Amino acid sequence: MIRQAKGKTPRRLPPKKASNSQKDPVGVYCRVRPLGAEDEECCIEVISNTTIQLHAPDGLKANRNGEFKETQYSFKKVFGIKTTQGELFEDVAKPLVEDIIHCKNGLLFTYGVTGSGKTHTMTGSPGQGGLLPRSLDMIFNSIGPYQAKRYVFKPDDKNGMEVQNQVDALLDRQKRDSQTTVPKTPTTRRIDPEFADMISPEEACKADGVDEDSSYIGCFAVPPQSKILREDQNHNMYVAGCTEVEVKSTEEAFEVFWRGQKKRRIANTQLNRESSRSHSVFIIKLAQAPLDADGDNVLQDKNQVNVSQLCLVDLAGSERTSRTRAEGSRLREAGNINQSLMTLRTCIEVLRENQMCGTNKMVPYRDSKVTHLFKNYFDGEGKVRMVVCVNPKADDYEETLLVMRFAEMTQEVEVARPVDRPICGFAAGRRQRNQAFKEELTRRLEERGGPLDGESPTVLNQLLQSFPPLPPCEISGPNDDVTLPRLIEALEKRHKIRQMMIEEYNKTANMLKSVLQEQDSNLLSKENFIQEQRGKLGEKDKMLQNQKNEIDRLEKKSKMLEYKIDILQKTTNIYEEDKRSLQHELESREQRLQREMSEKRRMEARMQGIVTDSKLKWEKECERRVNAKQLEMQNKLWVKDEKLKQLKAIVTEGKTENRQPQRPSREKDKVPAKRSASPSPVPTGPPVRPLHRRSHSAGGERWVDHKPNTNVDLDTVLQPNLPNAIKVNAPSEKALSKCDKYVLTHQEVASDGEIQTKLIKGEVFKTRGGGQAVQFTDIETLKQENPVAASRKRRSSETGPDGEPKEGDWTDVETRCSVAVEMRAGSNLGPGYQHHGYPKRRKP
C-alpha cells in the first residue's frame, strides 16, 4: 500500500522492467517531396532506397568560401517523390497497426521544416489518404466482426477500461438513444466531403491473426482545456480529465478526427499563426477482453482487459524564429514551439548518451508536454517510428541540415522490445463453438415443431406449443366442483412436462459440456505440444539472435568509431573556419570601433560648442526676463500707489469745493480731473446671508482644496463650494492619495487694482515610484466687481449765477483721470517715473 503525505505528490512505484532484454533502434524513415517549380534549385539527391545526399547551394558556397562538402545520410528506408501514400503506409504504419491489434503500443510522428509535407504524409487529401486515415481503416476492417456492443466497455477515468454486464450496457444504450443531441450511427452514414474518398475500396486491408475469441472497441480521447498528464498502471501517459468517445466504424473515427482538426484551425486562426506551427496529437485506443467459457459474453474481469494505444503526432515545423518573421504573440508562440522541439532533441541526446556511454543521466521528459507524452514509448512500452519529411529546395538547406543531424542521432537510440501480454487460459474457438451450438439448438427446435402463424421460430414459441392447452376457467356457480379440479389437473400436467424438459435440457447440456471438455482437453494437449516445440524453436532463435546481436554490436562499434573520426574531422574544419571568420570579424570590428571613437570625439566637440552657445543664450535670456519682470512689478506697484494718491486727492477736492466755491474758469484753463482706479466704497447695509457659488469642478469625485494662509477673505456672497473635499494649507502625499482631484485657490492683483481669484484644477494620479502627482487641466478665474453705476460715477459741482452750486454732467473716473502715468527708466520725477499726457482708453 502506498501512503500519501499531505500536500505532497504521492510516490509512484518504479516502472517495471521489461523481461525481454532485446532492443530495437528507433525506425527513422525519410520522405522527399517534389519541388514547387521545375526551375527551382535543388539541394537533395536520392542515392539509393536508404541513402540521400545533401549539397550546398551555389549562393551559400560563395558566402562561405566554397568549403562545403556533400554529406550523405542513411535511413531505414528513403521514399522518393514518386512514392504513393499506400506504399508509405505498408512499410511504416501497417506494422504498428498490427501491433495495436495484438495489445502492443506504438508511436509514429513526422518531423521536418515547415512546408516539407508532414501534414500531407500524416493526413493526406481526398483520394490520397495519409497514414492516419489508413490506420483507422485497417483497424476497423480487422475488428469489425468482433466488436462488442456499445457501452459494454466503460472508461474508468484512469486510462483503463471496465467491463459492464449486459443490463448496464443496455441501460446506457437506451439513455444514449433517448438523447436527441447525440446522433445515432446509421448504416448509411453521410460522409463529410472534406475526408470523403480518402481510401479507395481496392486499397482496404486487414490485419492477420486477429483473436476471434475476444471482443474489441475503439475509442478516441477528446482533451479538456487543462492538459494535465498522468501515468496509468501500465506506465502509459494520458491526459487527465479527457472525454473518451467510443466509435464503431471508420466513418465515426474520421468524424472525430476532423472535428479536432477544425477546432485546431479555428484556434490557429484566432492566434494568427500558421497551421504547421502547432503540434497535432491523435491517440487511438483499442480495448480487448476475452469471451467467457461459453463464448457468449465478455468476461467480467477487469484484469483481463488489455488497452493498447497508437499515438500519431504531426509535429510543428522545425525552423528558426527569425525565419518565421513572426511578431508579437506569434513570436512568443513560435518561441514556445521551438522550445518543445529543443526539449525533444535534448531527450534524444541524453538517451543516446546513456545507452552508448553507460551513464544514468535523467532524461528531461517533463520539460515539455510533447516529450512527457512520449515518455512511456521510449521507456520500452511500444515501438517508435519517425518519418523525416524534407523539401529539396535550396532555400531550406540550412534548416534541412539540422533536421538530418537530428534524424541521424535518433537512429542511434534503442528502445526495448515490448513484451507480449498474458492471455486467459480458456480454450480457443469459443466463439465458433457457441455459434455452432446456437445454430444446432435452433435447428432442433424447428424439427420438433414449426413456428406459429405470423411468428418467428424462437425457443419461447416452441416451449409454448409443447404445453397442453388450458381448460375453460369460468366458474358457473358456487357449487361448481368441476372447473377448479380440471384446471388443477391441467396445471399439474404442464408442471410435469416442464420438469421433464428441464431434465432433458440438463442431460443434453451435460452431454454437450462433456463433449466440449473432451475437445478442450485434446486441444490443450495439442497446444502444450505446440508450445513445447515453440519453446525449443525460441531457444534456437535466441541463440541466433544473440550471435546476430554480437555481430550488430561489433558493426555498430566500428561504425561509431568511424563516425567519431568523421565528427572530429568536421569539428576541426569548423573550428578553423570559425577561427578565420572570427579573426576577420575582429579586425573589421576594431576598424569600426576606431571610426566610431573618432566620430564620437567630433560629436563631443560639436556638442560642447552647442552647449556653450545655448548656455550663453539662455543666461542672456534669463537676465532679460528677470529685468523685464522687475520692471513690470515696479510699474504695477507705482500704478497702485498713484491710484491711491488720486483717490485721496478726489476725496479732498470734494470737501474743499463745498467750503470754498471757485469761480468757473475758462475751458482752456480747465485741467482734467483725476479719478481713482478703484470703485467707491459700497455703503454697508443689513447683514446678508452668504451664498455659495457652485464651482465648475463640483462632481462625484473627492477633491483636495488647497488654500494658502496668505489668501485674503473677500467676504463675497458667492464662494466656490467643493463638497466632500479635504481642505489643506499645504499639499501632502497623504491627502493626495485619498482624492482624485486637486484645486489651488490663488489670488493676485488685476490690472485695474482689484483682487482676482484663480482656481487652478488638476487630476491626481499615482507614479511608478508609489507616490502621487498632479496634472493640471483647467484654470477658473473669479473676479469681484461692483455692478452699481452710481458708485463708479460722480456729478461735477458747478456754481450758478447766484453763487449756489448746481448739478453738472455725469463724469466717470476714467474721464477725470484722463492722464495716465507710466513708469519709465531715467525719469526725473523719482526713481524711474515719467508722465505722458495721452488720454487713457475707455472701457467699452
Q: What is the pLDDT of residues 535-588, one digit of tens each?
A: 888 888 889 988 988 898 898 888 888 888 988 988 898 999 889 999 999 999
> What pLDDT band is residue 454 in, cutting at 50, 70 and 90?
very low
Whether pLDDT at 788 is above 80:
no
> What pLDDT band is residue 98 in, cutting at 50, 70 and 90?
very high
| DSSP H or E run through 808 | strand 805-812
Residue 278 CB-half CA count within 13 A: 16
Question: What per-residue confidence (pLDDT) applies to 348?
Answer: 93
Whether pLDDT at 206 is above 80:
yes
Whether pLDDT at 186 is above 60:
no
User: 756 or 118: which carries more pLDDT confidence?
Assistant: 118
Closest among 368, 323, 377 to 341, alpha carbons compared? 368
Whether pLDDT at 669 is above 60:
no
* Mean pLDDT confidence for 737-763: 84
Query: Are the C-beta atoms of residues 372 and 229 closer than 8 Å to each other?
Result: yes
Whether pLDDT at 27 is above 90:
yes
* Mean pLDDT confidence for 206-220: 84
H, E, C per residue of 364-393: CHHHCHHHHHHHHHHHHHEEEEEEEEECCE
Query: Are the C-beta atoms of residues 41 and 59 closer than 8 Å to each other?
Result: no
* Mean pLDDT confidence for 174-182: 66
Contacts of 272 (CB under 8 A, 6+ apart): 329, 330
Whether pLDDT at 792 is above 80:
no
Whether pLDDT at 655 is above 70:
no
User: 586 or 491: which carries more pLDDT confidence?
Assistant: 586
> What pLDDT band is residue 817 in, cutting at 50, 70 and 90?
very low
Q: In what order do the strands lie in the sheet with 27-32?
A: 77-79, 27-32, 382-390, 105-112, 306-314, 280-290, 214-222, 243-247
- State how far the Cα of 224 lies from the Cα of 769, in Å rounded to an integer: 42
Question: What per-residue confidence (pLDDT) applies to 183?
Answer: 46
306-314 and 382-390 strand pairing:
unpaired
Closest among 32, 72, 9 to 562, alpha carbons compared? 72
| The three cell numbers locating residue 121 | 504524409
Give per-residue pLDDT as tens, 682-718: 344 444 334 444 444 445 678 888 888 888 877 777 7
Whether pLDDT at 341 is above 60:
yes
User: 457 or 91: which carries more pLDDT confidence?
Assistant: 91
Question: What per-residue confidence (pLDDT) applies to 835?
Answer: 37
Give the amino acid at 823: M
**Angle at CA 295, nearest 5°, toward 294 and 297?**
95
User: 84 or 186: which carries more pLDDT confidence?
Assistant: 84
- 801-819: b (≥16 Cβ within 10 Å) or e: eeeeeeeeeeeebbbbbbe
Question: What per-residue confidence (pLDDT) applies to 824?
Answer: 38
Give per-residue pLDDT as tens, 116-149: 999 899 988 888 889 999 999 999 999 988 898 8
User: Could you count the other beta carbons within 10 Å of the beta carbon of residue 425?
Assistant: 7
Closest among 100, 102, 97, 382 to 214, alpha carbons compared? 102
On average, the pLDDT of the chain sits at 76
Question: What per-residue confidence (pLDDT) applies to 747?
Answer: 85
Q: Which residues sit in the known binding site? A: 112-119
Least confident of 160-164, 291-295, 587-591, 619-623: 291-295
Q: Which residues sit in the known binding site for ATP? A: 112-119
> What pLDDT band is residue 428 in, cutting at 50, 70 and 90?
confident
Handedness of CA 330, 336, 338, 340 (dihedral sign): negative
Question: What per-residue confidence (pLDDT) applies to 199?
Answer: 75
Query: Are the C-beta atoms of residues 130 and 333 closer than 8 Å to each other?
Result: no
> What pLDDT band is residue 406 in, cutting at 50, 70 and 90?
very high
Whether pLDDT at 97 is above 90:
yes
* Burial status of residue 200 (CB atoms within 10 A of its CB: 0-12, 13-18, 19 or more): exposed
**Any idea which residue has 454732467 for its cell?**
809
Query: Are the C-beta atoms of residues 486 and 475 closer than 8 Å to each other?
Result: no
Least confident of 262-266, 352-356, 601-605, 771-775: 262-266
Question: What per-residue confidence (pLDDT) applies to 96?
Answer: 94
Query: Are the C-beta atoms of residues 704 and 764 closer than 8 Å to each other?
Result: yes
- State how far the Cα of 450 lies from the Cα of 456, in Å rounded to an integer: 9
Give per-residue pLDDT as tens, 274-307: 544 678 888 899 999 888 777 777 888 888 888 8
Whether pLDDT at 611 is above 90:
yes
User: Could you count the other beta carbons within 10 Å of the beta carbon of residue 232?
Assistant: 14
User: 717 or 323: which carries more pLDDT confidence?
Assistant: 717
Percent of the chain with pLDDT over 70: 73
Whether pLDDT at 775 is above 70:
yes
- The residues that bridge with 673 in the sheet, in sequence order, are none
| The three cell numbers locating residue 702 | 473627492
* Mean pLDDT confidence for 29-54: 89
User: Helix or strand or coil: residue 342?
Assistant: helix
Whether pLDDT at 153 is above 60:
yes
Whether pLDDT at 69 is above 80:
no
Question: What per-residue confidence (pLDDT) applies to 822?
Answer: 38
Query: Are the C-beta atoms of residues 46 and 73 closer than 8 Å to each other?
Result: no
H, E, C per residue of 573-626: HHHHHHHHHHHHHHHHHHHHHHHHHHHHHHHHHHHHHHHHHHHHHHHHHHHHHH
Residue 264 CB-half CA count within 13 A: 19
Give the amino acid at 238: Y
Give the amino acid at 681: P
User: 729 or 68: which carries more pLDDT confidence?
Assistant: 729
Question: What per-residue confidence (pLDDT) applies to 464?
Answer: 54
User: 320 or 47: which carries more pLDDT confidence?
Assistant: 47
Question: What per-residue confidence (pLDDT) applies to 623?
Answer: 92
Whether pLDDT at 601 is above 50:
yes
> What pLDDT band is residue 622 in, cutting at 50, 70 and 90?
very high
| Packed helices 459-466 and 430-448: angle between N→C axes, nearest 10 degrees | 40
Whether pLDDT at 797 is above 90:
no
| The three cell numbers locating residue 674 | 483725476
User: Could you count the other beta carbons within 10 Å of the beta carbon of residue 219?
Assistant: 22
- The residues that bridge with 763 in the sheet, in sequence order, are 741, 775
User: 217 or 199: which carries more pLDDT confidence?
Assistant: 217
What sections of 127-228 are H helices per DSSP? 131-143, 166-178
Give per-residue pLDDT as tens, 433-447: 777 777 777 777 676
| The three cell numbers locating residue 518 | 473432451
Complete DSSP assignment for 765-796: EE-TTS-EEEEEEEEEEEE-----STTTEEEE
Question: What per-residue confidence (pLDDT) applies to 271?
Answer: 53
